[in-house]
């Protein structure tokens, strides 16, 4: 992978969902540092503004569109805002997600629907409305942020694991449906990464005020959890022309978590 500053995304327009924090923020900043105009989609305006300030502070181009990706009309408005502002759409990084920590018996029905809507249905809607515009622009790339839970999981992750497994299946389907029209769709499957979501999972699991690096490091073969920037490096590779022969892939980036018994 090329170093940041290689301008791999000059004159390209990318939507990044969940761009206000964690992997989404790191990806939005990395894309902008390499020339992309970035549309930051996020529910929290305060978090998104911090990302926006970092991008504009390095003379990058970005706008913020307040978006709940679990809402159909918000996604329609988001995609339209990208085209209205920058005239085209070349890529989507779908990083927004919500956590859920229940087995099916105790899982509230409303929480199931919310988790599936935000983590999975949103990817369908982003593709439905974004892919035609990307085809008009001559092609493009979609990178979905799935999870190691798409392949293996632990107790009490029913809705989350289902949403990420479904996201991986949808990634493959979209990839083969639109490959000949110049649309490449891939996914990354991160393991434990130092994000707000990991912290919320820890709290839901009863681990309060934990040092996440210490709480999770012993379960990782590398002896540490991942950093958002490490995941962003892979996302930007998949979104770039360096990955033109990759479609329908789910690339695991987990510090060896799935490799161990």
CB-CB contact of 69 with 48 (8 Å): no
Residue 199 CB coordination number (10 Å): 17
Catalytic residues: 160
pLDDT of residue 260: 87
Low-confidence stretches of the chain (pLDDT beneath 50): 1-2, 4-5, 208-209
Name the fold adopted by 13-191+231-253. Answer: Rossmann fold (3.40.50)
d(CA 158, CA 161): 5
pLDDT of residue 223: 82
Alpha-carbon distances, residue 157 vs 92, 99, 154, 257 (angstroms): 26, 9, 6, 17
Q: Where in the chain is the domain with CATH 3.40.50.720?
A: 13-191+231-253
């Amino acid at each position: 992978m090329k170093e940041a500053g290689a301008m791999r995304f000059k004159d390209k327009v990318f939507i990044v969902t969940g761009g206000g924090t964690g992997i989404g923020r790191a990806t939005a900043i990395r894309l902008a540092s390499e020339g992309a105009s970035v549309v930051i989609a996020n529910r929290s305006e305060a978090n998104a503004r911090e990302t926006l300030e970092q991008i504009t502070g390095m003379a990058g181009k970005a706008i913020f569109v307040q978006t709940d990706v679990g809402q159909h009309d918000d996604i329609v408005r988001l995609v339209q805002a990208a085209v209205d502002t920058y005239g085209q759409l070349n890529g989507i990084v779908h990083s927004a997600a919500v956590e859920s920590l229940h087995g099916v018996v105790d899982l509230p029905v409303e929480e199931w629907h919310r988790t599936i809507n935000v983590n999975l249905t949103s990817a369908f809607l982003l593709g439905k409305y974004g892919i035609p515009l990307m085809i008009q622009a001559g092609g493009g790339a979609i990178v979905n942020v799935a999870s190691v839970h798409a392949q293996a999981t632990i107790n009490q992750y029913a809705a989350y694991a289902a949403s990420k497994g479904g996201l991986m299946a949808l990634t493959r389907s979209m990839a083969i449906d639109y490959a000949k029209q110049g649309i490449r769709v891939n996914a990354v499957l991160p393991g434990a990464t130092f994000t707000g979501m990991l912290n919320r999972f820890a709290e839901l699991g009863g681990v309060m005020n934990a040092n996440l690096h210490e709480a999770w490091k012993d379960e990782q073969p590398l002896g540490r959890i991942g950093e958002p920037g490490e995941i962003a490096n892979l996302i930007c590779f998949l979104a770039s022309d360096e990955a033109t022969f990759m479609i329908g892939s789910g690339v695991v980036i987990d510090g060896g978590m799935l490799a161990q018994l």
